[in-house]
Structure 1
């Protein structure tokens, strides 16, 4: 378990453009291999006195807030790109009153019967009773009953008989 946590904490993450370890301690972790084969960082730290090492560490900790702020900005940019990419792939669905449509069963409507993976993900058909602004629709069953509250159009698709 400890090895898995070490691997996760020292792995570069694209959204933040940093490792979780560096966001906590403001320095990259010294890998055990670098202690055996000394790196410049290890050599510099070994040559410092205790007071110099404390001062260096305090300076690094002062810069930590800036590093975390940069990681937060990188994360927001990343999420913006992901949202834009998703929105580019989404096709808006519009329906007219009186149209027959199907409703996505998950997560809106709980399963009414058991059947595992062979049960359809769509339930219906339903009539569109009313169209609201913003892409919401009030549905009625074929017998005139209202089975649910208004529902977002992204959970609907046209019914082709």
Structure 2
């Protein structure tokens, strides 16, 4: 049977989402359902250390265009606007071809990131077990 509390990744995300919502809702906390989009946008466009990327970039293959970049054009937006339609399509295809490789690299980073605490924990457990045997 499905038990949500047993899913550690879901619980960790829920905790992060609750913390984000606390920062954007009003004091009565009655408008959380109106602000959840903002909180999710903030989460999806924030750089994550374990993956060395944003969740948005891992899903779509490119970084999100922030609303501020539309008002105050960034170098990235200026370059894209200067490209012809054909060049823009070619650039996007190149990004998509490199996307699978980027996902594999991200998977390797996650595995290394998860192995560090596991290794540290196992090191202490082995020392404790060796003391019990004596």
TM over 0.5: yes
Task: Show the 5 A alignment for 1:45-124.
Answer: 45-90=80-125, 91-92=128-129, 94=132
Matched length? 96
The alignment yields a C-alpha RMSD, in angstroms, of: 1.9
Deviation at residue 89 of structure 1 after TM alignment: 3.4
Moved over 2 A (4+): 88-95
Q: Match for 1:14 among 49, 53, 68?
A: 49
Q: Output one character per residue of 1:4-57: Cα deviation in whole Å (capped at 9) or x when no partner.
A: 111111111122111111111222112111221211110011112222211111
Q: Name stretches of at least 5 consecutive residues in structure 1 with no aligned partner.
A: 96-161
Secondary structure of 1:63's match? helix
Q: Give the Cα–Cα distance (whole angstroms) in 1 for the partners of residues 104 and 112 of structure 2.
A: 12
Q: Output one character per residue of 1:45-103: Cα deviation in whole Å (capped at 9) or x when no partner.
A: 111222221111111000100110110110111111121122233332747xxxxxxxx
Q: Name stretches of at least 5 consecutive residues in structure 2 with no aligned partner.
A: 1-35
Pick the structure with more helix per residue.
2
Q: Give TM-score, length-normalised by structure 2.
A: 0.64
Q: Give the Cα–Cα distance (whole angstroms) in 2 for the partners of residues 69 and 25 of structure 1.
A: 15
Q: Give the Cα–Cα distance (whole angstroms) in 1 for the partners of residues 58 and 85 of structure 2.
A: 24
The reply to whether residue 29 of structure 1 matches residue 64 of structure 2 is yes
Task: Show the 5 A alignment for 1:131-150.
Answer: none
